[in-house]
Amino acid sequence: MNSPRDPASIARVLTEALPYIQRFAGKTMVIKYGGNAMADDTLKNKFARDVVLMKLVGMNPVVVHGGGPQIGRLLDRIGKKTEFVNGMRVTDSETMDVVEMVLGGLVNKEIVNLINSHGGNAVGLSGKDGSLIRARKMVFKRSSPEMEAPEIIDIGHVGEVSSIDTAVVDMLVKGNFIPVIAPIGVGDDGQSYNINADLVAGKLAEVLDAEKLIILTNTAGLLGANGEVLTGLSSRDVADLIEQGVIRDGMLPKIHSAIDAVSAGVRSAHIIDGRVEHALMLELLTNEGVGTLIHGGSFRRPV
């Protein structure tokens, strides 16, 4: 058996990667960075190297990152109690200050520094920079047969994307920089809003006319009923899996973001295992990949 350092093995890897490099040169790849890949030092460095390599071979990576665990840890340290509604963190003004400090500051700049330390040229942004992300307040409604009207639940400074102005991202990409974006938007009322990073990445992929949306997760990909990794799925396939209850819970926001993106013209979406070293390169530049690929087509969201 050939060792990983065997010259013939290395040559085969490079040869396999060549057509993918040629195909994706000049294409925009929006990457949602989160999960274990943001927590493990080895994985963080491998991710940064992958992003730098993508840029060096002619792709245009745009990174959108999360930071929920980091926010939670700081809130715990200052004695701020955290509440969740439908998986969303209730975000009052004090919590929003922490969110901005962690996402727009600590986490964002750590990612920028990592990419730059591996030879890249990254620039950190939040959605407030250059009016990149306009947001509107997210409101939940709860109803029951006993209620005359649905109950409106206010979860504070939690938003959804209203619109995206890509001017600042376009300028950075043309200047050979790698944008690293914190998912914070600003509303018409001037208030800051914390937005789900999967949602921001999907919408950004749409407006940038990206070749791919790549979402890093803590699973091997989208799993079937028997735990197998599903890939090569159409939008209709995914809709059937949701209706069957195979896709549920925390995977739903990622899947909806992916489906919305491919339905709007993004060529493909990938949900990949961020626990695997060099997951980005394995998904982009090899025949096998390391996750789930979803291609475009019509999609009817289940009611």
Determine the 3-state secondary structure of 115 from DSSP: helix
Structure tokens at 172: 């950075």
Cβ atoms of 208 and 266 closer than 8 Å:
no
The answer to whether 115 touches 178, Cβ cutoff 8 Å, is yes
Domain-by-domain residue ranges, the chain?
7-295
Half-sphere exposure of 178 (CA within 13 A, CB side): 31
pTM of the entire predicted model: 0.88
Q: Are 295 and 67 in contact (CB under 8 A)?
A: no
Q: For the domain made up of 7-295, give the CATH fold.
A: Carbamate kinase (3.40.1160)
Distance (Å) of CA 130 to CA 93, 150, 169, 184, 190: 23, 37, 9, 12, 14
Per-residue pLDDT of the chain (303 residues; tens, 9 = 90+): 444 567 877 787 788 889 999 999 999 999 999 887 888 899 999 999 999 999 999 999 999 999 988 999 999 999 998 888 766 788 999 999 999 999 999 999 999 999 999 999 999 999 999 999 999 998 876 655 665 656 677 888 999 999 999 999 999 999 999 999 999 999 998 999 999 999 999 999 999 999 999 999 887 777 777 777 877 787 778 778 887 877 776 677 788 888 889 989 999 999 988 888 999 998 899 877 778 888 865 433 333
Candidates 99, 154, 156; CA nearest to 128 is 99
Which residues neighbour 209 within 8 Å (Cβ) at sequence distance 6 or greater? Answer: 28, 265, 266
